[in-house]
Structure 1
Amino acid sequence: MLTSLLAFSDELPSLLAFCLVSLIFFYVHKLINKRSTVPPLPPGPTAYPIIGSLPEMLWKKPAFRWIHNVMKQLNTEIACIKLGRVHVIAVTSPELSLEFLKKHDSVFASRPDVSSARLASDGYLSPAISPSGNQWKKMRRVMVSEVLTNDVFRRLHAKRCDEADHLVRYVYNQCMNSHKSGVMNVRDATRHYCGNVIRKMVFSQRFFGSGMEDGGPGIEEREHVDGLFTILSCLYGFGIADYVPWLEVFDLDGNKKMITNAVKNVRKYQDQEIEKRMEMRKLGHKSDENDILGILINLKNLQNELLLSIREIKAVILEMMLAIIDNPSNAVEWTMAEMINQPDILAKACEELDRVVGKNRLVQESDLSELNYVKACLKESFRLHPVSPFNLPHVSSKNIVVGGYFIPKGSHVALSRPGLGRNPRIWDEPLRFKPERHIVDEVSNVLLVDHDLRMLSFSTGKRGCPALELGSTTTTMLLARLIQGFSWKQPLSTNNIDLVESEHSLALAKPLIARAVPRLESKIYLQLV
Structure 2
Amino acid sequence: MSRCTTPGPTTLPFIGNMHQLIWNKSSVFRWIHRVLDETAGAGALTLKLGSVHVIVVACPEIAREVLRRNEAAFFSRPATFASNLFSYGYKSTSLTVVEDQWKKMKRVLTSEVLSPALESQLHGRRVLEADHLVRSVHGQLKLTPGDCIDIRHVARHFCGNIIRRLVFGKRCFGESPGADEQEHVDALFTLVNYVYSFCVSDYYPGLVGLDLDGHEKVAKGVMSTLDRLHGPLIDERVREWSQRRKAGNDRRDVADILDVLVSLEDADGQPVLSMDEIKAQTVELMFGSVVYPSNTVEWALAEMMNRPDVMQKAIDELDAVVGKESLVQESDIPKLNYLKSCIREAFRLHPYHAINAPRVAMEDTTIAGYLIPKDSHVIVSRIGLGKNSKVWPEPLEFRPERHLGDGAAAVVLAEPDLRFITFGTGRRGCPGVSLGTSFTMVLFARLLQGFSWTKPPGIGGINLQESPTSLALAAPLVLQAEPRLAPHLYA
Task: Bin the TM-score by the shorter chain.
Answer: over 0.9
Alignment counterpart, residue 165 of structure 1, candidates 131, 137, 140? 131
Q: How does 1:503-522 map to 2 (within 5 A)?
A: 503-522=468-487
1:259 is the counterpart of 2:223: no
Whether 2:83 is the aligned partner of 1:117: answer yes
Distance 1:434 1:267 in 2: 42
| Matched residue SS, 2:290 | helix
Which residue number corresponds to residue 279 of structure 1? 239
For residues 50 and 355 of structure 1, what CA distance do their matches in structure 2 show? 63
Contact 1:97 1:453 in 2 (8 A): yes
1:33-63, Cα deviation, whole Å (9 max, x unpaired): xxxx552200001111221111100102311
Distance 2:192 2:145 in 1: 31
Give me the identity figure in percent.
44
Give the partner amino acid of 1:486: F
Q: Which of 155, 163, 166 matches 1:198? A: 163
Shift of 1:176: 2.4
Q: Distance in 2 between matches of 1:202 and 1:483?
A: 27
**Separation in structure 2 between the aligned mates of residue 198 and residue 355 of structure 1, nearest angstrom:** 30
Distance, in Å, in 1 between the alignment partners of 2:407 and 2:31 is: 42
Alpha-carbon distance in 1 for matches of 2:57, 2:2: 21
For 2:309 and 2:213, the matched residues in 1 are separated by 46
Residue deviations 1:318-374, cap 9 Å, x none? 111111111101100000001111111111101100000000000000000000000
Instruction: Give the corresponding residue for 1:408.
Output: 373
Q: How does 1:172-183 map to 2 (within 5 A)?
A: 172-177=138-143, 179-183=144-148
Count of aligned pairs between the two proteins:
484
Residue in 2 that maps onto 1:27: none
1:51 match? 15
Contact 2:51/2:203 (CA < 8 Å) preserved in 1? Answer: yes
The amino acid across from 2:191 in the alignment is I
Pairing partner for 1:136 from 83, 102, 109 = 102
Cα deviation for residue 464 of structure 1 reads 0.7
1:352 aligns with 2:317: yes
Give the gaps of 5 or more residues in structure 1.
Answer: 1-36, 212-216
Kept after mapping to 2: 8 A contact 1:96/1:402: yes
1:67-466 equivalent positions in 2, closer than 5 A? 67-75=32-40, 76-177=42-143, 179-211=144-176, 217-284=177-244, 286=250, 288-466=253-431
State the distance in 2 between where 1:170 and 1:244 align. 49
State the partner residue of 1:484: 449
Shift of 1:249: 1.2
**Residues 371-413 of structure 1: CA distance to partner in whole angstroms, max 9, x if unpaired?**
0000000000000111110111111100011000010001111
- Contact 1:195–1:225 under 8 Å retained in 2: yes
Contact residue 2 and residue 369 of structure 2 kept, 8 A: no
Amino acid at match of 1:249: G
Distance across 1 between alignment mates of 2:153 and 2:413:
23
Tell which deviates more after alignment, 349-358 or 299-308.
299-308
Report the Cα distance in structure 1 between the residues aligned to 2:486 and 2:142, rounded to whole angstroms.
Answer: 14
Contact 2:415 2:424 in 1 (8 A): no
User: 2-side partners of 1:209 and 1:423: how far apart?
Assistant: 46
Quote the Cα distance in structure 2 between the aligned partners of 1:423 and 1:496.
Answer: 26
| Paired residue type of 1:523 | H
Distance 1:435 1:74 in 2: 30
- Offset at 1:236? 0.3
Structure 2 alignment gaps of length 5 or more = none
Residue 467 (1) aligns with residue 418 (2): no
- 1:8 — aligned with what? none
User: C-alpha deviations, 1:262-284, integer Å up to 9, x for none?
Assistant: 11102211111111111222332
Q: Which of 493, 496, 505 is the aligned partner of 2:461? A: 496
The 2-side partners of 1:455 and 1:350 are apart by: 26
Return 437-446 or 422-431, whichever deviates more. Answer: 437-446
Amino acid aligned to 2:67: L
SS of the residue corresponding to residue 461 of structure 1 reads coil
> Which letter does structure 1 place at the counterpart of 2:15?
I
- Calculate the aligned-residue CA RMSD, in Å: 1.2
Contact 1:174–1:180, Cα closer than 8 Å, also in 2: no
Shift of 1:114: 1.2
- Residues 116 and 235 in structure 1, CA contact (< 8 A), matched pair in contact too: yes
- 8 Å Cα contact 2:62-2:368 kept in structure 1: yes
Residues in 2 aligned to 1:382 and 1:111: alpha-carbon distance in whole angstroms: 23
Contact 1:236–1:242 under 8 Å retained in 2: no
C-alpha separation in 2, matches of 1:268 and 1:189:
24
Contact 2:362–2:374 under 8 Å retained in 1: yes
Is residue 174–residue 181 contact of structure 1 (8 Å, CA) maintained in 2? no
**Per the alignment, in what secondary structure is the counterpart of residue 46 of structure 2?**
strand
Work out which of the residue numbers 42, 52, 66 in structure 1 matches 2:6. 42
- How many angstroms does 1:288 deviate by? 4.6
Structure 1: how far apart are the matches of 2:159 and 2:392?
30
Checking the alignment, whether the CA contact within 8 Å between 1:183 and 1:491 is kept in structure 2 is yes
SS at match of 1:463: coil
Q: Distance in 2 between matches of 1:115 and 1:85?
A: 17
Structure 1: how far apart are the matches of 2:235 and 2:147? 40
